[in-house]
Amino acid sequence: MKKVLEFLDAWGVRISSILILIIFFKTCSTNTRIEKVKDVSLKNNERIDSLAIELRKEIKIEGLEAERRMIQSTDRELMDVTRQERIGNIIDSLKTRK
């Protein structure tokens, strides 16, 4: 036990200072990793939001096209023809906004 205490008295300050230096460098690299993860997370959130908007447009277009097909299948009169034209105009405007 006496040899261990003598070793720690002789080398303790040097060993502890090296360990403190290593811990300091380790915490510096951790902060940069956190910043990189935040940047990637923000980019992913923006992409998810844009995909959600695009998906809503696609769903609306599909719904309008289904309505147009339903009108065409029932063989109705002039009122439905004007609705089909309006549906076509809405679909065209949605497709050009992409």
Return the DSSP state at 4. Answer: H
Distance CA 88, CA 78 (A): 15
Q: Tell me the pLDDT tens digit for each residue of 36-80.
A: 889 999 999 999 999 999 999 999 999 999 988 887 777 666 566
Spell out the domain ranges in the chain: 2-96
What are 37's two structure tokens?
A: 């993860």
pTM, rounded to two decimals: 0.52
Instruction: Answer for the pair 28, 69: CB distance below 8 angstroms, yes or no.
Output: no
